[in-house]
Structure formats: structure tokens, C-alpha cells
Structure 1
Amino acid sequence: MSDRPVSEAGVVGPGPLVPLDEAYVAHAEVLREVAVCAWDAVPLARGAGRGPGHDLEAALRLADLAARLVECAVVVALEGGASWADVAVLAGVGEDEARGRWAGPVRDWVGAGRRRPPGRVDSVTVAGDVDAWYRGVEPGVEGVVTAGLVSAGPSGEAAREEADRGRAEAAALWRTSPGGSLESGVAWASGLRTQAEHLERLAVLEPPLADEHVAQARELRELAALVEPMPGPF
């Protein structure tokens, strides 16, 4: 068992949550920013410091937050088991367009270890802060974020440990870049096949990019078949 402490909210303390929970918390964090920004923009009284450009600045800020919110929602959908085809249908666009819009943020998410960026306030604290903020808006409503986290459930600790192992394995695979040179077709083909194997494993470890990893692995295997010398007649 981990020695991570348990918070009052019932979530195992500092350290990354399971990827879906991390995505939910990131989404909730931006939702709170949207709500606060919109709330602050509503009063029309010309108070101190509210110049003629205040409303435009607030609207632009909301537009930026809305774009971030959609990116977070796409990550939540993919972490929750949706496919890019599902995302495209929900967005009312073609799959290629959906990928064109949001594949970058999804890759950034996976590249960060399928968690909110390290170095910021940890997700457990953020979830608790959003709980407290929402409770201030709707008194009596408890755990609006933390109560829905897998990491807070009975199997949460085991799920987090499994996620930690998956992150570590994925990081190790990304650090490994098999060699092989053009001078040796056999060695190069072997390196390509090893990379393909790594990508196929990453497809399991990083579901949001699974189809991308599988497609790249297929291309590497096809290339390996081309560069490997054909066996001689003797």
C-alpha cells in the first residue's frame, strides 16, 4: 500500500490521480474560472476601474476560457472511452476536422503524463477548492467534484497505483529509442520493429492516442519489411 495520506474529502493525498480523474479536475478548474469570469462581468454599474473596454476584455477572456474548456472536455471524453469518431459526432464536424482542432491539446495532455501539469497545485487540493467554491454558491452541496472521483472510491488507492505504474512504463518507453543505421538493413529493421512494439504497448497505456500509436506502429512495421534485406538463395 502507498503511504500517501488521505484527505478529509476521502481522496488519497498528494500525487497524481487516475487519468480520468485528473481530466475531470482540470475541466472543473476551468469551469470555475468561466463561472467566476462571467459572474464578475455581469454587474453593469460603472464602478471604480471599470473602463469602456471592460466588457470587451471580459468577453475575450471568456472566449479564451471557453476554448480551453472544450479542449478539457475532449480529453475527458477520450479518457472516458470515447473515440475520435464519437468526439466528431458530438462536435458536429468530421473526424479529420475534430483531430485537426484538438489533437494538439490531447498530445500535450498525454505528454504531460495524462495529468494536470506538474509543479502546479496538486489535483486533490484543486478538487477540494472547487468543492468549497461551489458550496459557497450552493450551500449544503458537498463534494461536487471529489465525490465523483474514482480515486476517492473504495478501489481508489489501487487504481492510482496502477495508473502510476502505467505512467512510469509509458515514460520509459518514450525514453527508449532503438537504434539501427541505414548501413545495416537488419539492424534498422529490428529497431523499427522494436519501436512498433513500443507504440503498440503505448496504445494500451495511453488510450487517448491509441489509434494514432497503432497507425504509427503499422507504418513502422511496413517500413521494416521494406528495409530488411531479402534472404539470399544460399
Structure 2
Amino acid sequence: MDDRPAGEVGNAGLGPLVPLDEAYLAHAEVLREVAASAREALPLEPRLRHEPGGELRTALRLAEVVARLTDRAVVVAVERGVSWADVAAIAGVDEDDARRRWADVAREWTTAGGRRRPPDRGDSVTVARDLDAWYRSVDSQVRDAVTAGLASASESGAAVREEADRRRAEAAALYRTSPGEAWRPGPRGPAA
């Protein structure tokens, strides 16, 4: 697997992906997994009647995948600059609960440099194009469902990358100056 940013691996059309785009890809990968898991549960074949607990196993598997989807959605929100107060409001919990539940996920993403690192998945552009191809198999009328939404692919991609680099440097500096404290619930944590 190649952990280098997309623009460094020779794929034309996209420069290095910003952390928001990487978060978007990670989210899209889990959405595809949700769709595949739900599709595998249908139709309700007679095999489930012969497999005691089959429906429960399927539901638990979907719950696990949806929990990962929620984690990825929080990372996307944080990368977009959504505040913890807004994350909490959207989730229907108080801010301290939101931080307790997802701060580690956001911290791990930030300390990893805002890069997906799935095993055996290849570079980000390859993953994005794979997701595009999968979506085309679901709806042949939609072209580039994922790559078209990447900020890095826009005409202002260079400016988007510069701003992302600035924000990433600020987040890394915050984490270095107060390890652990910046992500704990309460008034010391970051706004986003």
C-alpha cells in the first residue's frame, strides 16, 4: 500500500488530497460497506430460517458498520470546521458527551496527518476511482460520484490544499503543546 498523497503517486487530474477529502473517502468507503451489508441481508432467503440467529447476526454487523460510519462522519464534520457544540447538537447529546464519544477518533485522525491508512487499499486516487466505479454499478447515470465532490479536484485545489496545510499545522501545534489536554472534554478542548 502507498501512503503518499494522491498527487505523488502519478494519477493525473488530482493533486495531493487534503485531509477533508481523505475523510470524505474514508466515509464513502464505509457507506459502500453499509450498502453491501444491507444488500447481503436481502432477499430474506430460507437459509436465514435454518440459521438460528441469522437476522440478529446481520443486524449486529450492520450496527457495527454504522458505528464506524458515524465515526467517519464526525471526522468529516471536524475537518469541515464544525464545532464540538454543533456536533453535539446534531447527535442530540451534550458537548461533553460528544467529546467523550468522538474526541479520540478526531485526535487519531489529526495525529495521523489526516490520511486514510487502510490495509491493502492503495493510494487515495485509486480508492476514489474504485468508489466511483462501484457507484456507477449502482446508478449508471452518475459519473464520478466521489471524485467530483473532492475539494482537491476543484479549480481552487491548490488554495484548498494550502488552507488545509495551515489548519493541519495549527492542529498539530495545539496537540504538541498540550498533549491529551486539547482533546479532553470541557473548556480546555478545541472549538472544532
Q: State the match for 1:199 in structure 2.
A: 174
Q: CA deviation at 1:166?
A: 7.0
1:96-107 alignment, distance < 5 Å: 96-107=96-107
Are the structure 2 counterparts of residues 118 and 135 from structure 1 closer, same or farther at C-alpha, using a change threshold of 3 Å? closer
Query: 8 Å contact 1:151–1:160 — kept in the other structure?
Result: yes
Which secondary structure state, in structure 1, belongs to the residue aligned with residue 105 of structure 2? helix
TM normalised by structure 2 equals 0.77
CA distance in 2, matches of 1:32, 1:97: 28
Q: State the match for 2:188 in structure 1.
A: 215
Deviates more, 1:106-115 or 1:119-128: 119-128
1:1-234 alignment, distance < 5 Å: 5-7=10-12, 10-12=13-15, 17-47=17-47, 51-117=51-117, 120-157=121-158, 159-160=160-161, 163=164, 198-199=173-174, 212=183, 215=188
Deviations 1:137-194 (A, max 9, x none): 1112101110010111123245446656876x67xx97xxxxxxxxxxxxxxxxxxxx
TM normalised by structure 1 equals 0.65
CA distance in 2, matches of 1:75, 1:40: 27
Query: 8 Å contact 2:34–2:62 — kept in the other structure?
Result: yes
Q: CA deviation at 1:111?
A: 1.6
Gaps of 5+ in 2: 1-6
CA distance in 2, matches of 1:118, 1:44: 32
Greater RCO, 1 or 2 (C-alpha within 8 Å, sep 6+): 2
CA distance in 2, matches of 1:216, 1:141: 41
Query: 8 Å contact 1:84–1:95 — kept in the other structure?
Result: yes
Q: CA deviation at 1:55?
A: 2.2
Amino acid at match of 1:199: L
Are the structure 2 counterparts of residues 202 and 154 from structure 1 closer, same or farther at C-alpha, using a change threshold of 3 Å? farther
Name the larger-Rg structure: 1
Are the structure 2 counterparts of residues 28 and 3 from structure 1 closer, same or farther at C-alpha, using a change threshold of 3 Å? closer
Query: 8 Å contact 1:74–1:87 — kept in the other structure?
Result: yes
Alpha carbon RMSD of aligned pairs, Å?
Answer: 3.4
Query: 8 Å contact 1:199–1:216 — kept in the other structure?
Result: no
Gaps of 5+ in 1: 175-197, 204-208, 218-234
Are the structure 2 counterparts of residues 132 and 68 from structure 1 closer, same or farther at C-alpha, using a change threshold of 3 Å? same
Q: State the match for 2:4 in structure 1.
A: none
Q: CA deviation at 1:95?
A: 0.2
CA distance in 2, matches of 1:114, 1:65: 21
